[in-house]
Every structure is written in C-alpha cells, then in structure tokens.
Structure 1
Amino acid sequence: MWLSIMGGFLNKIVNSKSRMFLMFCFCFILGAASFSWVMERGSLLFYLFLILFLPFLLLILFWKYNFYRFLSLCLLFFLLGAMRFIAAIPPDNPGQLHHYNGYGVRVTGYVSDEPDVRIKDSRYYIRAEQISVEELSWKNVEGKLLLKTLLYPQYEYGERMALACKLEAPEKDEESRFDYPRYLARYGVWSICERVQVLSSRPFVIPSGAAAESRDPLTNAAKGQGISPLRPPTSAFGRNDKGSKIFFPILQLKSKISNQLNRLWSEPESSFMAGLLYGARSGLPEELLDNFNRTGVTHVIAVSGFNVSIIASVLMTILIGAGLYRRQAFWAAVAGIVLFVLFTGASASVVRAGIMASIVLIAQYIGRLSSAGRLMVYAAVIMLLINPWVLIWDAGFQLSFLATLGLVYLAPLIRRDGSPKATVSTVGLYEILISTLAAIIATLPLILYQFGRLSLVAPIVNVLILWIIPWLMLFGFLSVMVSFAFFPLGQVLAWVAGAGLKYVIIVVEWFGRRSWSGIDFSIPWWVMAGMYVAMVFFVIPSGAVAESRDPLNYGKRDSPPSAS
C-alpha cells in the first residue's frame, strides 16, 4: 500500500515541472542541512566536487528515463547544497585571520557591522585587513573578529582601528545547547579578541627620540603581549572611509532616531519603543526582559518573522475592518513592511523578517496556500545561497520560518470550524487570537528544545497586547518624524503612545511576576522532530494545504467597483 502511494506521489512530481523544481529546492536545502555540523573545510570541498561528476554521468546514461533523470537531478542539487555550505567555511591558511588563533597579534581593520552597544559593554565586529605576529612584518589577511570592550570610548561603523590582543577561537559551553562557535560563524566570525590592552582608532602622533616608545600605547601594549613593537603600515585610523556607502546614512538616521526617542520618552518606555521600531532592546532592564520571556511576548521587541508576520497579519485585518478594500489593505501593509525594513537598518535578519511577513500577506490576499508554501521554499533557498549557516544555527531564522508556516497553514485550520459571526470588532480580535495561537503552536517544539522554557500565559498575554502593537508602532513612528519638524507636537503624540507603552509594560510585568506564568521544560531533538512530523500529518489530511478560507471576507470586495 505504502509503495503504491509513494509511486503515485513520485509520478505526480515527475510529470510536473513546478513540482520537480520544488523537490530540487528541497534537495538543496537537505544537502546544506546534512553538512551543517562540519566546522573544518579540509579537502571536503574537493571530494564533493569529484562526486559531482556522478549525477552528471547518471544524467547522460538515463536522460530518456524520466524517473532516473529526476533522481539524478535530486542528487545533483543535494551535492550543490552541501558544497554551498562547505564553501562558506574559510580555509585554514596564513591568509585567513583564524589561522592565528592562540597567538598574540596586532591587527588593523575597520568596524564592519553596526556596533552592539549594551548597558555595560560594547561589542564590535572588526573586518581585519593586516596582521603582524611574532616579530614578523605586516601582511594582508582576511576574516572578521569579535571585539568585546568597555562601554566607552565608542566607535562607529566603518571606523578604522588598530588593536593588540590575543586571538582565541570561540568555545562551546558543553553544559548548554547553545553552540557559540557556530553562532558566530553565521556572521563570518572565527576569532575573538581576548585580553585587549590597546584599542586605537585615532591617528598616531609618533614623537621622535627615546620618548617615542614610552608614549606610544600600541607599542607598550604589544610588549605586554610579547609582540614586536612594529608600527602599523598606515596611520589613517579614525577615518570612516570603510563599509557600505548605503549603510552609512541608514545608521546615521538610526542614531538620530535613538536620540529623539530618549527625548520623547523616559526609561523603560524609550527602550521599549526602540525595540518595537527597530529591535533594539539593550536599554531594557533585565527584570523586564525576563518578564517578556516568561510571558512569551519577546517577539514584539525582536525584529523577526515571528514579530513582523503577526503584526502584518493583524495590520491587514485592522485596515480591512477600518473600511479599506482587501487589495488596498494588502498594498498598504506591504508598503508598511518595506518602510519598516528600511527604518530598522535593512540588516539581514530584518530583510528576512520582511520577506516572511510579505509571504503571509500574499497567502491572505490570494487565498492559495500552495503558492505561499512554494514562495517560502524559494525564499529559503535564496537565503541559504547568501548564508547557509542560518538553516541550523540561527534560531531567529528558524522561528521566523516556523511562525510563517504556522500563520500560513495552521491559522486557516484553526479558524475553519470556529469563525465567529463576522463583524469588524469580532473579526479583528478573533484574527489576533488565531494568528497568535498558530505562531505559538508552530514554534513551541523549537522553543522547548532551544530554550527549555514553556510560557503558560503566552496566549492570553499576546491577545491582551498584540492588538495595540501596530498602533504603538504607528504613533511612535509619527511622534519621531513630527518631533523633527515641531517638537511640541511630537511630544503630544508621544504622550498618546506613552499611555499604550505603559499599558503593555504593566500587563507583561503583572503576568511575568506570577510564579505560574512559565515553567522550565526542555525536550530532546528527537521529540521535537516527532512533534513536527505529527503536525505535518495533522495538517495534510485536513485539507488546509489546498486552500484557505478567507477570514476577512465579510462583505469586503477585493477592489473598488469600476465606474460605469
């Protein structure tokens, strides 16, 4: 029986070009996933390249046979996925920065990513350009390192730097499931700068005579590390002439917005609004952050597909309930997502969240889940081509993907038999509940495996606060923009938003402080896998894959009637 079902399934795939391409994408993803535990390239890429000739040989021999041709192409795409991941691992040679892990070095480079300024310290990703070790001359080098330093002085994106430190490979905590080395590898970081004694980004003024050595901090620090006191090959430190020319103005805008937020709101409302608008939560008190975790609403202050997808879904519901046609609401929501991505700096995680949210809107708009599912697979392949590390080692990517799957496939299944009698208010509140439950169910196994925490109040807290989040984001955005033109009017809008911010904080703190709000509960990987397999077998027979019922179709036409 199972053989006949499988045979019929394969025949449907082989006889459909779109399904074949979809399967090839799955094979590519599977190939990247299968090799995601590899940390050293070695000769593996060379061997995979040799094996690549096998599917080409099979294609030549069995080109006339559809089934064998299909299997050969599946093998080809599997190998291509594996090769893409292996190619993302830098080779271990003297031209790579991580080759010098364990040595005291002097490095010149520049801040290559947005600085991560926290309450107590700052963290910078440095793109290395040149290195000197063990009294050798300066040589060109490639790679990035993570620099942890004091809160002050602070350095800017694109700023050239020279530093003396000991390079160390990141280490994994064996008692935790969190894999720190692979977490950093997804950013292209394979080295950590430990025991930093000098961090200079200012032009060196080198005096003449014997005083030069004593007054040069880099030389003194180099001596402390056992490094030859050779000068860096350039004195152009402190200049912001590196980095993306497009990213510069975006970060400058974010800096101005951050300053304006601090003028409009006090803490913790200011940091909370920053989290809503562009995912910055470094200023939030640890107790409040813990309460967000315990109540299962951390996604509202994290730029992820989980957050943006739910907000986009709720926003579209609100716009339709406010009187817009569905097509108008769709394009308004898409425009909001694009503005949000640009506003938050267009980082990789933000762009990914925007893509996932757009797929949810497309699913709601066209009502064809199969099309939305294909779009998600294609989007995943593109993201893996850009950075294959995110598939297994980026919890944000996984949560975004799963939350979107929940909103696309589980939400129609939940609402299918329980839709209330359609009115603007009931449908809006009901859609918030359905979207929340769908995202929670889809991400729950991963959260239990990755973080080991189960929030018992997440559904009710999400319902209590999610309805106001889009309005807070809207009024927060307007407050900031208007305050640049006329600050008193911006303050008035900020007072309105401030009341909503206080409401959310009060709800989160009240539930988060209850001892029964959350429990520590962890599951092994095979239980997580079993739960997702059960979900798949539950969804497919229910017919949710075929087509979703439109939860918003309560008298609203897709577009305005044409003039006659």
Structure 2
Amino acid sequence: MNYNIINSKSKTFIAFCFSFLIGVVIASIFKFNFDYVVWGFVFVILIGLLVAFRKSKSKVFIFVNVLLIILGICRYNFALPNDNEKYISHYNGNKFKFVGYISTEPDVRIVDIRYVVQSDDLKGKVYFKSTLYPRYDYGDRVEIECDLVTPEAFDDFRYDMYLANMGVFSLCVNPYVSRLDGYGGSIFFREIMKYKNIFAGQINKLWHEPYASFMAGLLYGYRGGLGDLQEHFNRTGITHIVAISGYNISIISIMLITIFVRLWIPRKKAFWIIIFCIFLFVIFAGASGSVVRAGIMGSIVLLSKYLGRKNRMANTIIFTAVLMTIYNPFVLVWDIGFQLSFLATIGLVYLLPILEDKFKKFPNLFSIKTLFLSTISAIILTFPLTLYQFGRFSIVAPVVNILVLWLIPFIMLFGFISVLLSFLFYPIGQMFAWLTFLGLKYITFITVWFSTFEYSSVEFQVPLFFIFVIYFVIFFIIYKLKK
C-alpha cells in the first residue's frame, strides 16, 4: 500500500474520485443484470467492514474506494430506463401515440431538423427527424404518432449511446406530428430561444451562406448550413471554432487575458470580466449540457492562469469530471466532446506552462506565441484520442490554427456588434458586417487552400492499446518536466 497517497488529503481525494469514475466506466463497458437487492447487500457488507476496520487507514482506504466503484456502477444503471409501462421505451417496437413538448433546441440541418420530445405522461424522451417545414420551437406541445424503435449501433458508431447522452432511448420513425396549444419546459429557456431565433434571423440578413452559418457557429455553436466548408474544417483541424467546446473557449480566454494584461488592465479585473463574458455566452447559447461543460472547462483554464498555481488544479479538474458524470453518467465513455474537452483542458493547464517556460526567450508579438503554444498544448493532448475515434489526423492543423485563431475573438466581437447595430440602424450594422466578412473570407480561404493539399490530413486506424501507451508517455513526460 502506498502510504504517500493515504497520508495526503489531496491524493486521497483524487483516488476517491477516480474510483467513482472507474465504476462508471465498468458499468458503461460491461452490462450488468442489475439487482438492487444484491447490490444493496454488498454495499451493507462493505459498510460493515468499513466500521469494523475503521482504525486501519489502509483498510478504510480500500473499502471506501470499493464503495465508490459500486456507487459509480449504480449511478450508471440508475440512468438506464426500466422496462415497465411507466417508461416510453417500454413501447419500442410498436406503433404509438403520445403527447409531449420539444425539450431541447431543435437541431437544424441542411435537409432536415432533429427534435427531442419529452413525453407528458411517461418517463423518457423520443428523438425524431422531420422536414424543414413546418418548424417547431423549444417548448411547443405536440402530439406524435409513429413507430417507436430502439436505437442501435451501426458501422462502429454507438448511435444508441450517442442518443443516451441526451436521455433518449426511443427513435420515432415515420412520425405524424400535430401542434397543440400551450407550452412545456422552462419559461426562462423558452425566452432565450425566442431572442436567439431573432438574433439568428438578423445574422441571415447580414451575411449570405455559408458565412451566415459560419458566424452563427462562432457566436453560439450552430453547426448547420456549412455544407462543403465543414469538410474543409475537418481536414484542417479547426472544426472546434464553430463548436462550443472547452478548447475553443479556453483558447479565446487565454488570448483575451493576455491582451487585457498588455493593455494594463489588472489581472484580477480581466479575470472577472472574462468569467462574466463566459457566463453570458453560456446563457445566450442555450445553457445545454455541452455548452455548460464548455463554459466550465474554459473557466478552469482561466482560473489556472489567474492563480498561477497548478498544485490544486488536478483536484478541481477531476472533481469537475465527477460532478458532470453524476449529472449524466453516459458522457464519461460515450461522449467524445466530453473527453476531448478534458484532455484539452489538461494540456492548457499543465503542458502550456512548461512550453511557455521553454520558449520564454521568444517575443510574444501580438500574442502569437501564446496562441501557438496554446494550440500545440491542446493538440498534443487530444490528437491520440482524435486519431482513435475518427481515424484521421490533420497534419496542417497547427499551422492553420496559428493563421486563423488570432482573428476569431475579433470576428466574434465585431460580428456581435454588427448584429446589435443592425437592430438600431441597419446600414451601420451592415458596414460592420462587411468588415467582419473580410475576416470570415480570410479564414475560409486559408482553410480551403490548406485542405486541398493531398496530405493535409492522414487517415489510418490505431488500436486502443497503442493509444493508452501514447497517453502514458505524454503524461510521464509532463510529470518529469514539471519536476
């Protein structure tokens, strides 16, 4: 037994957090025939052993970790629907009619719209695709008749678990949808969506496609309407700029705090200004699970820059992972965005300071060095997982990120100002929109030009074991360099 861990409150806390997460991972990979009586009995026995051996630190440490592993397994299984008439998934495989409300922001694509509906009378949500018109908004009450189907994995993609992240365990096929009177869901969120739709309409007036969708992606994470530009973003490794991710918010936050400090704004004031901006951004973007997660990850990176100390950041990061997993246990194994956000955050918190120290002799003209090192730190930590999940690695990503990321905060700022001014006096808003368009055009040109290179991205499959080896080497190097 390693008494350095037992005698350290910080390391003990991290070990306990990892035990809970391990339990969730075990439950995610292996299916249990969950019997609450048996698990309750095991839990009681462990509690008894914990009390019996309470004077032995090592035995207490072991028992608590085992208890937390069991709790992780239980939390995952509690999130799964029961097979009884109270759950809508019980009726999968049948034609079914139910009444509910649109429970998330509709996912508008080029050819269709995807909706998630919360049933009024039954537990659980249903996912269905519909035509672009008629459209339904968040909170609209609807009556749906369709064939309920259990989601299944296909082509090595766990589509079932992708939907489980949203609390969905039923697909609605061939839906017949009727709009009903009244509304459901959160009044607050419904008001946000109303103003957001007005804002989106103004964006479509100021810019044409795909630049309107590009601007919407920058300002609030809209992913539809990009067309071929989306593939160019994928090949050059800058998809994150039109996705609300912890990586994206973190990079922008680091750039802003660097700029503020150079403008002689006190670090403390700069910190709180950016935190407030992140909060407003999360609210405006809809405060969905992924958006809140991105805001938290960005705030953690900002906190590490503000405090300048890394000794407690490990506790903060791992505890944040535990809290998010308690809220939604499916994200830990089945949400690639969750995993990439945490890895990018680790890179920006731990690897970035090391690289900054190694390159301290180089000038930081226009914050280009900070941007470059931040990008490299995030890429190093995320590329093995990206390689495993997508079978693709963008060779030109570091260069393209350097060429375009410095411009993103300014495009977001002037894009936001353009929309606000257009409500007051449209011609002035249009003038700012033209200036912003030049920035959008520049990024599009750089992205398309680099993506046309034959080897801009390389596709090949890597076994999972090899990915673990790569991460072991990366973390070992970071640990050694920190010393």
TM class by shorter-chain length? over 0.9
Counterpart of 1:124 in structure 2: which amino acid?
Answer: Y
2:144 maps to 163
* The one of 17, 25, 46 aligned to 1:33: 25
1:83 maps to 74
- Listed as ranges, the matches of 1:102-251 within 5 Å are 102-129=93-120, 140-173=121-154, 175-176=155-156, 178-196=157-175, 198-201=176-179, 237-239=180-182, 241-251=183-193
Per-residue deviation, residues 441-485 of structure 1 (Å, max 9, x unmatched): 100011011111110100000000000001111111111222222
1:374 maps to 315
- Listed as ranges, the matches of 1:55-94 within 5 Å are 55-94=46-85
* The one of 15, 20, 25 aligned to 2:12: 20
- For residues 343 and 95 of structure 1, the distance between their equivalents in structure 2, rounded to whole angstroms, comes to 35
1:284 maps to 226
**8 A Cα contact 1:111 1:157, kept in partner:** yes
Counterpart of 1:360 in structure 2: which amino acid?
Answer: V
1:225 maps to none
- For residues 14 and 388 of structure 2, the distance between their equivalents in structure 1, rounded to whole angstroms, comes to 29
2:404 maps to 465
Alpha-carbon deviation of 1:149? Answer: 1.3
* The one of 174, 194, 217 aligned to 1:275: 217
- Listed as ranges, the matches of 1:42-57 within 5 Å are 42-57=33-48
| TM-score, scaled relative to structure 2 | 0.97
2:337 maps to 396
Counterpart of 1:460 in structure 2: which amino acid?
Answer: V
Unaligned runs of 5+ in 2: none
- For residues 469 and 379 of structure 2, the distance between their equivalents in structure 1, rounded to whole angstroms, comes to 17
1:522 maps to 461
Counterpart of 1:118 in structure 2: which amino acid?
Answer: R
**8 A Cα contact 2:354 2:481, kept in partner:** yes
1:551 maps to none
Alpha-carbon deviation of 1:325? Answer: 2.5
- For residues 441 and 453 of structure 1, the distance between their equivalents in structure 2, rounded to whole angstroms, comes to 14
Per-residue deviation, residues 128-181 of structure 1 (Å, max 9, x unmatched): 23xxxxxxxxxx4221111111111111111111122111111211x32x2000
Counterpart of 1:179 in structure 2: which amino acid?
Answer: R
Greater displacement, 317-326 / 244-253: 317-326
Per-residue deviation, residues 482-509 of structure 1 (Å, max 9, x unmatched): 2222222222221221111111111111
Per-residue deviation, residues 356-406 of structure 1 (Å, max 9, x unmatched): 011101111111112222111111111011101000000110111111011
Alpha-carbon deviation of 1:52? Answer: 1.0
* The one of 348, 355, 377 aligned to 2:289: 348
1:222 maps to none
2:420 maps to 481
- For residues 418 and 146 of structure 2, the distance between their equivalents in structure 1, rounded to whole angstroms, comes to 44
- For residues 305 and 47 of structure 1, the distance between their equivalents in structure 2, rounded to whole angstroms, comes to 40
**8 A Cα contact 1:110 1:161, kept in partner:** yes
SS of the aligned residue for 1:102 comes to: coil
Greater displacement, 295-304 / 523-532: 523-532
Richer in helix (by share):
2
Alpha-carbon deviation of 1:21? Answer: 2.1
Alpha-carbon deviation of 1:422? Answer: 4.3
Alpha-carbon deviation of 1:38? Answer: 4.8
Higher radius of gyration, 1 or 2: 1
Cα RMSD over matched residues? 1.5
- For residues 44 and 528 of structure 1, the distance between their equivalents in structure 2, rounded to whole angstroms, comes to 35
| TM-score, scaled relative to structure 1 | 0.83
Alpha-carbon deviation of 1:19? Answer: 2.8
Per-residue deviation, residues 384-439 of structure 1 (Å, max 9, x unmatched): 1110100000011011111101111111222222223445x26x100100000010
* The one of 434, 442, 447 aligned to 1:508: 447
Alpha-carbon deviation of 1:68? Answer: 1.0
- For residues 194 and 103 of structure 2, the distance between their equivalents in structure 1, rounded to whole angstroms, comes to 15
* The one of 278, 288, 301 aligned to 1:337: 278
Alpha-carbon deviation of 1:32? Answer: 1.0
1:541 maps to 480
**8 A Cα contact 1:363 1:371, kept in partner:** no
SS of the aligned residue for 1:52 comes to: helix
Q: How many pairs were matched up?
A: 483
Counterpart of 2:91 in structure 1: which amino acid?
Answer: Y
SS of the aligned residue for 1:369 comes to: coil
SS of the aligned residue for 2:28 comes to: coil
- For residues 281 and 252 of structure 2, the distance between their equivalents in structure 1, rounded to whole angstroms, comes to 11
Moved over 6 A (4+): none
Change (3 A) 1:46 1:438: farther
- For residues 231 and 216 of structure 2, the distance between their equivalents in structure 1, rounded to whole angstroms, comes to 17
- For residues 24 and 236 of structure 2, the distance between their equivalents in structure 1, rounded to whole angstroms, comes to 34
Alpha-carbon deviation of 1:537? Answer: 1.3
**8 A Cα contact 1:42 1:91, kept in partner:** no
